[in-house]
Amino acid sequence: MSREPAAHENLTTLSKHLASRGLAPGLDEVLLAIALGGKAIGHRVRRARIDDVVGVAGGENVFGEVQQKLDVLSDEILLACLKDTRATAVYASEEQDGPLVLRTASEGGRYCVLADPLDGSSNIDVAVSVGTIFSVLPNDRPDAETAAAVLQPGRRQVAAGYIVYGSSVVLVLATEAGVDMYTLDPVLGEFVLVEEGIRIPDEKKIYSINEAYVNDFDDGLRAYLEYAHGSGYGARYIGSMVADVHRTLLKGGVFIYPATTKAPRGKLRLMYEGNPMGYVVERAGGAASAGTTPLLEAVPTDVHERTPVVLGSKAEVEQVTRRLGA
Ligand code: AHG
Ligand code: MN
Ligand code: MN
């Protein structure tokens, strides 16, 4: 009778799995640094009330948005982990005024990391899932222009993903090889591979949008909602992009944060919310749009620019975009 392998024998850790993926030089050390940052941020998120890091930090970010203490703390943790990583050329984030050049190409800086260190942070004090979103671009610039290497379209990403701090800490990582999911084993302190080669369902009648703004939606989007309301769709909206996108990736459906009359470019930021999530969904066989143009083709002019986002199952994204463009 064959012996069931002991649980630990099926233990593929993140570092072991990355080593098997044959990634470009230095990329694995950048991804492991981000994962380390995620472990540390997850620990602080879990202890938020205890450590009294819930609430506002007193400052504002470049958007004039009040920064939560954990926003600032998460940004500091991520930067500290990446500063130590020789392959990191530039760090840019929602909480930083501009890109920070850590190393030029001739100093070994191969990759730019852009991050939303804590997404959904307004939900921290009510214990709703939040997360860290990251995007990795190649440093393709001469030393003197290193900071500008962050301004590349999402299509140029070499890796992207997110870490959800929810009922468990889950890392979803997309690379050329596909989309893989790891769960943090709190006892081992290791991210363990739980699913390899995730594919988003081609269709699913779930839409995710904040309908409170319906009076500010354009006619095409209202036409989509009318179609959805009459076609047996379910609505799910958590209000943390990372949680809404994670559900969309695993169950299918469409996530929409649209342009509105009050926010003509939408709310979400292209470089560290739209692009990374768009890359993950497209690598899983889904689609990502800026409304009427492919999201990953957008050519950025500012690291903090906003974009409308429609992403998810191909068929469901198409149901939205064909009406937006009508
Ligand atoms: P962040 O916490 O990084 O500022 O992001 C919040 C974003 C995103 O997580 C979510 O999809 C969106 O805000 C929700 O916005 P509304 O409250 O306007 O729906
Ligand atoms: Mn965010
Ligand atoms: Mn944020």
At residue 192, the pLDDT reads: 96
Question: The domain spanning residue 266 has which CATH number?
Answer: 3.40.190.80
Question: The domain spanning residue 169 has which CATH number?
Answer: 3.30.540.10
Q: Percent of the chain scored above 70 by pLDDT? A: 96
Q: Is residue 75 part of a domain?
A: yes
Which one of 170, 195, 220 terminates a domain?
195
Per the structure, the complete domain to which residue 286 belongs is given by 206-324
Ligand 2 centroid, distance to 268 Cα (angstroms): 7
Residues 158 and 113 placed together within one structural domain of the fold:
yes
Distance CA 209, CA 201 (A): 19
Q: Is residue 308 part of a domain?
A: yes
pLDDT, tens digit (0-9, with 9 covering 90-100), for 150-161: 999 999 999 999
pLDDT, tens digit (0-9, with 9 covering 90-100), for 96-139: 999 999 999 999 999 999 999 999 988 888 889 999 999 999 99
- Of ligand 1's listed atoms, the one at least distance from the Cα of 118 is 3
- The CA–CA distances, whole Å, from 261 to 64, 265, 266, 306 equal 20, 9, 9, 14
Best residue among 241, 255, 262, 272 to mutate for probing ligand 1, ranked by most atoms within 8 Å of CB: 241
Residues 216 and 167 placed together within one structural domain of the fold:
no
Whether residue 88 is predicted with pLDDT greater than 70 in this model: the reply is yes
pTM metric for this prediction:
0.95
Ligand 1 centroid, distance to 147 Cα (angstroms): 27
Residues 70 and 167 placed together within one structural domain of the fold:
yes
Best residue among 257, 306, 311 to mutate for probing ligand 1, ranked by most atoms within 8 Å of CB: 257
Whether residue 300 is predicted with pLDDT greater than 80 in this model: the reply is yes
Total domain count, the chain: 2
Pocket of ligand 1 (CB under 6 A): 94, 116, 119-122, 210, 239-241, 257, 267
Residues 65 and 159 placed together within one structural domain of the fold:
yes
Distance CA 194, CA 53 (A): 31
> In the structure encoding, which two tokens stand for residue 187, read together?
């006892």
Average pLDDT over residues 157-167: 97
Q: How confident is the model at residue 9 (pLDDT cuts 50, 70, 90)?
A: low
Residues 71 and 125 placed together within one structural domain of the fold:
yes
Ligand 2 centroid, distance to 140 Cα (angstroms): 26
260 contacts 213 by C-beta, under 8 angstroms: yes
Residues 105 and 145 placed together within one structural domain of the fold:
yes
Q: Is residue 83 part of a domain?
A: yes
At residue 6, the pLDDT reads: 56
Q: Is residue 138 part of a domain?
A: yes
Counting ligands in written order, the one closest to the CA of 276 is 2
- Of ligand 1's listed atoms, the one at least distance from the Cα of 242 is 9
Ligand 3 centroid, distance to 94 Cα (angstroms): 6
Angle between helix 69-83 and helix 27-46 axes, rounded to 10 deg: 150
Ligand 1 centroid, distance to 165 Cα (angstroms): 15
Average pLDDT over residues 229-252: 98
Q: Is residue 1 part of a domain?
A: no
Residues 100 and 125 placed together within one structural domain of the fold:
yes
Residues 180 and 215 placed together within one structural domain of the fold:
no
- Of ligand 1's listed atoms, the one at least distance from the Cα of 94 is 3
Residues 126 and 236 placed together within one structural domain of the fold:
no
Q: Is residue 136 part of a domain?
A: yes
Residues 214 and 312 placed together within one structural domain of the fold:
yes
Task: Tell me 217's DSSP state.
Answer: S
- Of ligand 1's listed atoms, the one at least distance from the Cα of 210 is 19
Which one of 167, 195, 223 terminates a domain?
195
220 contacts 177 by C-beta, under 8 angstroms: no
Residues 299 and 167 placed together within one structural domain of the fold:
no
Closest CA to 240 of 162, 160, 318: 162
Dihedral class, residue 64 (left if φ above 0, else alpha if ψ from -120 to 50, else beta): left
Distance CA 292, CA 246 (A): 23
Which one of 195, 214, 242 terminates a domain?
195
Closest C-alpha residue for ligand 1 atom 14: 239
Residues 181 and 316 placed together within one structural domain of the fold:
no
Whether residue 279 is predicted with pLDDT greater than 70 in this model: the reply is yes
Q: Is residue 2 part of a domain?
A: no
Counting ligands in written order, the one closest to the CA of 66 is 1
Dihedral, 247, 190, 194, 268 alpha carbons, nearest 10: 20
Q: Is residue 201 part of a domain?
A: no
Ligand 1 centroid, distance to 241 Cα (angstroms): 6
Ligand 1 centroid, distance to 135 Cα (angstroms): 18
Average pLDDT over residues 61-65: 76
- The CA–CA distances, whole Å, from 65 to 43, 57, 106, 121 equal 24, 11, 36, 11
